[in-house]
Amino acid sequence: MTKIRVMVVDDSVVVRRLVSDALAADPSIEVVATAANGRLALKRLEQLAVDLITLDLEMPEMDGLATLAELRKRGSKVPVIMFSSITTRAAASTIDALTLGANDYVTKPDKLGFDGSRAKIQTDLIPKIKALCSRGGTIAPPIKTIESDAPITAVAIGVSTGGPPALQTLLAAIPATFPVPIFIVQHMPVTFTTMLAARLSQTSPLEVVEVLGPAKAEAGKIYLAPGDFHLVVEKTPTGIMLRTHQEAPECSCRPSADVLFRSVAAAYGASCLGVVLTGMGSDGTRGSEAITKAGGAVIVQDRASSVVWGMPGGVVRAGFAHAVLPLESLALEIIRRARGTSRARVA
């Protein structure tokens, strides 16, 4: 088996050793180079082929954002995972990096000691490396189509790896006159979701708000689950209410798309639409089943436009996808369904 060749870029000797030791424990991964800053990393990449780069944000001479921008300017498509601290500044920079073309990120362990930090890196980083460097996948079964003249009254979106740029593309194409609420679960920690909501609000014609407490759902607004909290909607005599809670993670995720989707299915029934975008793991599959059983529909992002086809692929393989579409076509399909004139297409 050919090993996944990784370059570790970080200005800290301790972090370079920590990441290298963590990755060395997996026989399918090999750290072939390290670099103390972006300038050195770019120089080594001229002589060395790698399958993936882990990239620190804050470094002397050339930081992570500048390095990433230069990589993409040179036409490099090598996957990049940013290594970020959980701070407001780092969260904002990480969102910038994902917009510039980083594929994913992990947060640096804090106060865990060397062994604890190494174990956390193995848990957080190795699955992402393998997902981004996947050598292929299974063939998806045929997709059933659904045609409906009944307009939807709510949209629920689940997304993970590759989510911020995908959401930016999708939401920017939804018009200010969109008539129903949109609920989103993006797998991100505290602070990061705050930065993401602010960033999406800059490019979306609709208002994007992070749900920080009970609120009434309003048509034409976009609601983002906060980091480390599940987001649910509930049907009440006065309308649809949103609330958050910290019950156990599902699919190792909090917020979880499954939790959101189940609540949307219960509150809206056959008039809800689930949308599953790029992401690793299987979060969203069980929730898509709930939407389907309630009479609603689920559409997913196709493999070609996804950074990782784990979440959407899982929905397809389970038989709960009604249509598979490229990212650039999803907004039009959502708009059509909101108007009750949609014809689902099969990819």
Cα(first)–Cα(last) distance of the chain, in Å?
A: 32
Taken in order 189, 193, 199, 200, the sign of the CA dihedral is: positive
User: By the 8 A CB rule, do 6 and 52 touch?
Assistant: yes
Do residues 294 and 272 touch, judged by C-beta distance below 8 A?
A: yes
* Tokens 């300017």 found at: 73
- What is the number of other CB atoms lying within 10 angstroms of the CB of residue 110? 9
The tokens for 262 are: 């189940």
Distance CA(226)–CA(174), nearest Å, equals 22
Q: What does the CA dihedral 237, 239, 244, 247 come to, rounded to 10 degrees?
A: 40
Nearest to 57 by CA among 92, 31, 23: 92
160 counts as catalytic: yes
In the chain, DSSP assigns E strands to: 4-9, 29-35, 52-56, 80-84, 104-107, 154-159, 182-186, 207-210, 215-216, 221-224, 230-236, 239-245, 272-276, 297-301, 323-325
Query: Can 63 be counted among the known catalytic residues?
Result: no
Check 104, 187, 288, 342 and give the catalytic one: 187
Catalytic residue, from 51, 258, 283, 302: name it: 283
- Half-sphere CA count of 223, side-chain side, radius 13 A: 30
| Residue 127, preceding peptide bond in cis (omega within 30° of 0) | no
Q: Catalytic annotation on 228?
A: no
Q: Tokens 């399909």 belong to which residue?
A: 333
Asked if residue 125 lies in contact with residue 19, where contact means CB atoms within 8 angstroms, the answer is yes
Cα gap 19→25, rounded to integer Å: 10
Catalytic residue among 93, 160, 263, 306: 160
Strand partners, 84: 107
Q: Kindly list the catalytic residues.
A: 160, 187, 283
